[in-house]
């Protein structure tokens, strides 16, 4: 089934393919930022009110019913912006920025997932923490930039109780636009941290020591369970993707890349990005499937009628891949609008279906459960799809 939006309500009508909309949860006057989903399928969303007046946190049960909500209001002369959301070790972690009098402050909250009540809170002055990195051995890294003038890389390692175990700071002497995006951190072996930057990737040990750094730009990074690091970027002409071992040695490199990546159960790599052309209307979504050894298996180009832009990618336990994007299409007789686009691929790289929904700009985030339920977040709210 496919959802058709009329005055904010979702109506369903038959569509080609097996995909159907299980439910949707609209957002009213609240700009969505991030989405995470538990193994059981409970979903959590953050959004912010206009002018940063408040951050709203919502959780939905398996049927899309609102299960709990929490409003975090700004105090006078403050504005709040949610950054990253992470479900880990029985807590829902929220990284946000507090802006007041021109000086940003990072805030890390640990929330009870059932009630969304705050369990503990940590503040860090002059810090923008954009990336929460869970550690398989316990705890997490809070990664971002420090010092608004130079944007030095800064990271803190916390245990579950909210105690700082280690910290790391890197200052190149210039404006370091590193560690600022949500896809710029990944777990390294033995509670360490990988950081993806504008022109380099870093390996930091559990005690905050810089182990190595290698020249390689990154748009997104991800680590394998064995400790290897996968990096991709979109630099001209068509980017690159590479894998490094825990010692920083390059294992393979492919001269094609993207802006988001994910790993499949068979250790292969899925990458998506936007093919940018001189004609903006000709932008298309590229999807790459790369073998575990770095060989390009398949390439797919989604060519909508006008501009298409990739946002995120995920896989399920069977190796199917799902891409979140936007597509600029006709609306009515003469109108145009951005709609949200989801694509599904089988483990061999063949596109199985595409689904357009919503009517309000770029989507924000994608989560896929092991069973293949797809959750996507955009300005129209949260939608759940299922084959």
Look up the domain containing 363 and give its range: 258-387
Please report, for the domain that includes residue 331, its CATH number.
Answer: 2.130.10.10
User: Is residue 2 included in any domain, yes or no?
Assistant: no
User: Is residue 360 included in any domain, yes or no?
Assistant: yes
What counts of helices (H) and strands (E) characterise the chain?
Answer: 0, 34
User: Is residue 362 included in any domain, yes or no?
Assistant: yes
Average pLDDT (220-240) is: 94
pLDDT exceeds 80 at position 203: yes
User: Is residue 131 included in any domain, yes or no?
Assistant: no
Name the average pLDDT for the chain: 90
User: Is residue 50 included in any domain, yes or no?
Assistant: no
User: Is residue 340 included in any domain, yes or no?
Assistant: yes
User: Is residue 178 included in any domain, yes or no?
Assistant: no
Q: Mind listing the pLDDT tens digit for each residue in 27-69?
A: 988 999 999 999 999 999 999 999 999 999 999 999 999 999 9
By percentage, how much of the chain surpasses pLDDT 70? 90
Residue 67 corresponds to which tokens in the numbers above? 């299960």
User: Is residue 225 included in any domain, yes or no?
Assistant: no
Q: Mind listing the pLDDT tens digit for each residue in 67-77?
A: 999 999 999 88
Burial of 338 (0-12, 13-18, 19+ CB in 10 A): buried
CA angle 350-267-242, nearest 5°?
95
Q: Is the pTM of this model over 0.95?
A: no
pLDDT exceeds 60 at position 383: yes
Report the pLDDT value the prediction gives residue 283, as an integer from 0 to 100.
85
Q: Which long-range contacts (CB under 8 A, 24 or more apart) does 200-205 make?
A: 201/229, 201/231, 201/244, 202/153, 202/170, 202/178, 203/229, 203/246, 203/248, 204/155, 204/168
Query: Confidence band (pLDDT; 50, 70, 90) for 4?
Result: very low
How many domains, the chain? 1
């Amino acid at each position: 089934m496919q959802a058709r939006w009329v005055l904010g309500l979702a109506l369903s009508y038959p569509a080609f393919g097996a995909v159907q909309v299980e439910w949707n949860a609209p957002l009213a006057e609240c700009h969505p930022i991030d989405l995470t989903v538990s193994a059981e399928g409970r979903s959590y969303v953050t959004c912010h009110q206009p002018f940063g007046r408040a951050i709203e946190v919502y959780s939905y049960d398996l049927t899309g019913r609102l299960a709990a909500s929490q409003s975090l209001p700004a105090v006078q002369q403050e504005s709040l912006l949610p950054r990253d959301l992470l479900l880990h070790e029985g807590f829902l972690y929220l990284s946000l920025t507090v802006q007041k009098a021109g000086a940003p402050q990072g805030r890390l909250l640990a929330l009870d997932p059932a009630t969304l009540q705050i369990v503990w809170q940590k503040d860090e002055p002059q810090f923008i923490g954009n990336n929460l990195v869970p550690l398989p051995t316990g705890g997490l890294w809070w990664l971002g930039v420090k010092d608004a003038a130079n944007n030095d890389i800064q990271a803190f390692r916390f245990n579950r109780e909210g105690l700082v175990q280690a910290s790391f700071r890197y200052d190149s002497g210039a404006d370091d636009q590193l560690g600022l995006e949500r896809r710029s951190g990944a777990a390294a072996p033995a509670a360490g941290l990988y950081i993806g930057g504008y022109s380099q990737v870093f390996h930091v040990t559990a005690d905050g020591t810089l182990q190595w750094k290698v020249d390689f730009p990154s748009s997104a990074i991800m680590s394998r369970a064995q400790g290897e690091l996968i990096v991709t970027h979109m630099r001209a002409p068509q980017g690159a993707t590479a894998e490094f071992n825990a010692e920083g040695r390059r294992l393979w490199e492919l001269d094609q890349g993207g802006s988001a990546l994910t790993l499949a159960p068979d250790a292969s790599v899925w990458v998506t990005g936007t093919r940018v052309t001189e004609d903006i209307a000709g932008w298309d979504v590229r999807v790459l499937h790369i073998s575990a050894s770095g060989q390009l298996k398949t390439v797919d180009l989604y060519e909508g009628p006008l501009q298409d832009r990739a946002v995120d990618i995920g896989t399920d336990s069977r190796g199917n891949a799902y891409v979140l994007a936007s597509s600029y299409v006709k609306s009515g007789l003469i109108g145009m609008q951005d709609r949200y686009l989801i694509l599904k691929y089988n483990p061999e790289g063949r596109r199985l279906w595409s689904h357009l929904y919503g009517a309000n700009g770029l989507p924000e985030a994608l989560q896929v459960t092991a069973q293949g339920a797809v959750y996507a977040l955009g300005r129209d709210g949260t939608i759940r799809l299922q084959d």
